[in-house]
Chain A
Amino acid sequence: MKPTDSTSDADTAQPTIISDGTDTETFSFETSGSTVEVTWRERLRDFYEEFIYKPGLVAWDDRRTRIGAAIMSIYVFMGTLGAWLYPAPSTNQVERGLEPFETLSAPLGSTGSGQDVLAMVIHATPEMLIMVTAGGIFATGVAVIIGTVAGYKGGSVDRVLTSFSDVAMSIPGLPLVMVLAVVFRPRDPVLIGILLTINYWAGLGRSIRSQVLTLREESYVEASRTMGVSTPRILFKDIIPNLMPFVLVNFANAARYVVFASVGLYYLGVLPSSVDNWGLQLENAYSQAGALVGGGALYQLIAPMIAIMGIALGLILLAQGLDRVFNPRVRTRLAGETESTADEEDRETNTEVNM
């Protein structure tokens, strides 16, 4: 399980050589700030090439990534421009109990208290996006820190961190979050995002740790180590970049978990109802007998449902598409179409030609 293809090994070693070579003019100025700057810029560019642009191309080649990205940009649009331009929901802003597609002032109809359903859907988006981002960053960030340090340091540090993750992982997420929600009554979406992923990172941290364990045995990491490069530098330069695709996949997964959990908790009414949320909308519609029996108010349920499933679908598609970058099994077959097969083993040549 190596998160990058074989070329990156060579290329991560290269930047230093290349920059040393092209820096000869700056080099004559003696080692001053400028040398460092150029090297840094080049390093950044190489980093971009190697870890963002190339994997991005591979991911983009997958239809799922493109659809997922398109869906997510709709939500971002809805959460920024949409929420800014479209009037916020309020009681009696339109006629009560409007059916969908009746008037332009409430295209998706209105609730029993005269709120515009579409406005409710749109204005729940910004909070949701903040929550999802906060949760995703918190979960993957903590997982990366704990996983890499535990995996790279080893010894007693590893033991302590691993046991810590084990315990955190054994506590059931949803019930814990509910209890904490009752204790802290969080209102800030960032806080809610973090709270929801309070122990989500644990399992992820474990997988990152085991990947770091394999990565640290790679020759280029070992080379850095023998050259006396400091641990944080190795972690940031050699290890974490190689984990990026995996981390991104799990960012999308964590984000989806935040969507499901937050909507669920808002639906239950466990989280304070200060914020517009699709879960609240669901709850309102569901608790109104009309939505259930007559089917007349069904549209009130369907709008938030579609909003929830849409964002979840976008995130799943993104995760699946990104997985292609991370997962070497899927990736070699793809790479075979463009790369020369000459230096590969016979066996691999065969599978590549297969495509």
Chain B
Amino acid sequence: MNNYYLKRTIRAVLTVWIVITLTFGMIRLLPGGPLEQLRGKLLRQGVSPSRVNAMIESYQNVRPNQSLPEQYYEYMTALLTGDLGQSFLQKEPVTAIIGDALPWTVFVMITSTLFIFLIAIVWGALMAYKEGTTFDLLSSSASILFAAVPFYVLGIGLVIVFGYQLELLPTGHRLSPEVEPGLSLLFVLDAVDHAILPIASMVITGAGLQVLAMRGNAIQVLGSDFVRVARLRGLSDQRISVRYVARNAILPMYTGFLTLIGFNLGGSIILEQVFSYPGIGYYMYQALEARDYPLMMGIFLVITVALVLAVYVADLTYGLIDPRVKSGDSREAY
């Protein structure tokens, strides 16, 4: 048992370390781009070469005249002390930008994923109970249809209809200019107002396949022997649907739920661009456009760590909700 937790922990740490090393390598692969232009510009402006080098170094976290292991050591120690470098674009520390943007992205993504699974569980179970009826057929078709829509396509559609044409909801930004973050009702309402469309486009397009998965699980459980025996034992329908069907059908979806949060964080790059919603995905895109490598790599690392963390938490907690995997080793999170 301890062995299992230890193994998972080591694996998580190892993955993060490999990704860090990977980003270290990628930064060196990246074309010079605007940094080289900047260097030229600064030199032409008469800034002393040593200062220019220092500035460039702080932007790229690279000290070219050091040996590779030395560079690697500095890069790692800087990361461990929470230093992700300086954003070239925003003229701010990367950590400050991420600290400002991450909560918004996490809010949107966790809310969407929660809704996706709530809908999936309730709707999928209903479909399973009514297997073969018109309701089931229509719902299945609708699920497939919605799953065929990329979230950003629906997002564009929603912005056009609700934002530009009906002018019901904002077309971008996380808050209205006049609203200050704080613990006020106005702030909460305004934040929700701005997040509705992004969340809706994630939920509507993401729920379809999960609904179908839940339906399949529930049908399988409904046909299982233990449900039949439970009926014969005289248990109430309510108890059977909650303790027997729901519980056993939801279990296999638990890991998927946590990992989906992680994956959706990656999707935020496109989503937040469509909605001009300044979360980490929005900044990642900005950084990509401007070749702002420190910011780009910082956000990349954060998203990776979030995904690794989600899988890690799923691994560690699955044993708590499914008694069959107490011993752990035989099963994996995927």
Direct contact of A and B (CB under 8 A): yes
Residues of A with Cβ closer than 8 Å to B? Answer: 64, 163, 166-167, 169-176, 178-179, 182-183, 203, 206-207, 210, 259-260, 263-264, 267-270, 282, 286, 291-293, 295, 298, 301, 305, 308-310, 312-313, 316-317, 320, 327, 329, 351
Whether B147 pairs with A316 at a CB distance below 8 angstroms is yes
Whether B266 pairs with A173 at a CB distance below 8 angstroms is yes
Whether B304 pairs with A292 at a CB distance below 8 angstroms is no
| Contact (A312, B149) CB under 8 Å given A163-B11, A171-B304, A174-B270 | yes
Whether B284 pairs with A172 at a CB distance below 8 angstroms is no
What are the residues of chain B within 8 A of A298 when measuring CB–CB? 160
Q: Which residue of B lies closest to A291 (CB)?
A: B160
What would 10 more interface pairs be, CB under 8 Å, given A171-B19, A308-B153? A170-B19, A174-B270, A175-B300, A179-B297, A183-B26, A263-B153, A268-B285, A312-B147, A316-B148, A351-B223
CB distance from A306 to the nearest CB of B (A): 10
Whether A174 pairs with B269 at a CB distance below 8 angstroms is yes
Whether B265 pairs with A305 at a CB distance below 8 angstroms is no
Alpha-carbon distance between A239 and B303 when the two chains are bound, in angstroms: 37
Whether B160 pairs with A308 at a CB distance below 8 angstroms is no
Interface string of B149-162 (1 = CB under 8 A from A): 11011001101100
9 residue pairs bridging A and B, Cβ less than 8 Å apart: A170-B308, A172-B307, A173-B266, A175-B269, A176-B300, A267-B270, A282-B156, A298-B160, A312-B147
Whether A316 pairs with B270 at a CB distance below 8 angstroms is no
Asked if B30 lies at the interface with its beta carbon under 8 angstroms from chain A, I say yes
| Contact (A175, B144) CB under 8 Å given A301-B160, A329-B220 | no
What are the residues of chain A within 8 A of B249 when measuring CB–CB? none
Alpha-carbon distance between A312 and B311 when the two chains are bound, in angstroms: 28
Whether A178 pairs with B288 at a CB distance below 8 angstroms is yes
Whether B300 pairs with A183 at a CB distance below 8 angstroms is no
What are the residues of chain B within 8 A of A282 when measuring CB–CB? 153, 156
| Contact (A173, B263) CB under 8 Å given A166-B11, A166-B15, A206-B332 | yes
Interface centre among A203, A268, A291, A301 (most CB of B within 10 A): A268
Alpha-carbon distance between A173 and B259 when the two chains are bound, in angstroms: 12
Alpha-carbon distance between A301 and B155 when the two chains are bound, in angstroms: 12
What are the residues of chain A within 8 A of B299 when measuring CB–CB? 175
CB distance from B273 to the nearest CB of A (A): 6
Alpha-carbon distance between A163 and B17 when the two chains are bound, in angstroms: 13
What are the residues of chain B within 8 A of A172 when measuring CB–CB? 262-263, 265-266, 300, 303-304, 307
Whether B19 pairs with A183 at a CB distance below 8 angstroms is no
| Contact (A203, B31) CB under 8 Å given A172-B263, A267-B270 | no
Alpha-carbon distance between A175 and B271 when the two chains are bound, in angstroms: 13
Whether A170 pairs with B15 at a CB distance below 8 angstroms is yes
Whether B149 pairs with A309 at a CB distance below 8 angstroms is yes
Which size bracket describes the interface of B in this complex? 35 or more
Interface secondary structure of B, over-half rule: helix
CB distance from B14 to the nearest CB of A (A): 7
Alpha-carbon distance between A260 and B165 when the two chains are bound, in angstroms: 26
Alpha-carbon distance between A312 and B267 when the two chains are bound, in angstroms: 17
Alpha-carbon distance between A175 and B183 when the two chains are bound, in angstroms: 33
CB distance from A136 to the nearest CB of B (A): 17
Q: Identify which of residues 153-199 in chain B touch chain A, using a CB-to-CB cut-off of 8 Å.
A: 153, 156-157, 159-160, 164-165
Whether B156 pairs with A169 at a CB distance below 8 angstroms is no
- Partner pick for A320 among B144, B160, B220, CB 8 A cutoff: B144
Whether B332 pairs with A286 at a CB distance below 8 angstroms is no
What are the residues of chain B within 8 A of A64 when measuring CB–CB? 144
What are the residues of chain A within 8 A of B96 when measuring CB–CB? none
Whether B144 pairs with A305 at a CB distance below 8 angstroms is no
Whether A175 pairs with B156 at a CB distance below 8 angstroms is no
Q: Identify which of residues 9-30 in chain B touch chain A, using a CB-to-CB cut-off of 8 Å.
A: 11, 14-15, 18-19, 22, 26, 29-30
CB distance from B286 to the nearest CB of A (A): 11
Whether B296 pairs with A206 at a CB distance below 8 angstroms is no
What are the residues of chain A within 8 A of B159 when measuring CB–CB? 292
Interface centre among B29, B30, B150, B291 (most CB of A within 10 A): B150
CB distance from B161 to the nearest CB of A (A): 9
Q: Which residue of B lies closest to A312 (CB)?
A: B148
Whether B29 pairs with A183 at a CB distance below 8 angstroms is yes
Alpha-carbon distance between A82 and B235 when the two chains are bound, in angstroms: 62
Asked if B54 lies at the interface with its beta carbon under 8 angstroms from chain A, I say no
What are the residues of chain B within 8 A of A178 when measuring CB–CB? 269, 284, 288
Alpha-carbon distance between A43 and B308 when the two chains are bound, in angstroms: 45
Whether A309 pairs with B30 at a CB distance below 8 angstroms is no
- Partner pick for A313 among B144, B304, B311, B332, CB 8 A cutoff: B144
CB distance from B94 to the nearest CB of A (A): 15
Alpha-carbon distance between A327 and B215 when the two chains are bound, in angstroms: 14
Alpha-carbon distance between A269 and B297 when the two chains are bound, in angstroms: 19
What are the residues of chain A within 8 A of B152 when measuring CB–CB? 264, 267
Whether A167 pairs with B144 at a CB distance below 8 angstroms is no
Asked if B145 lies at the interface with its beta carbon under 8 angstroms from chain A, I say yes
CB distance from B287 to the nearest CB of A (A): 10
Whether A293 pairs with B164 at a CB distance below 8 angstroms is yes
Q: Which residue of A lies closest to B33 (CB)?
A: A182
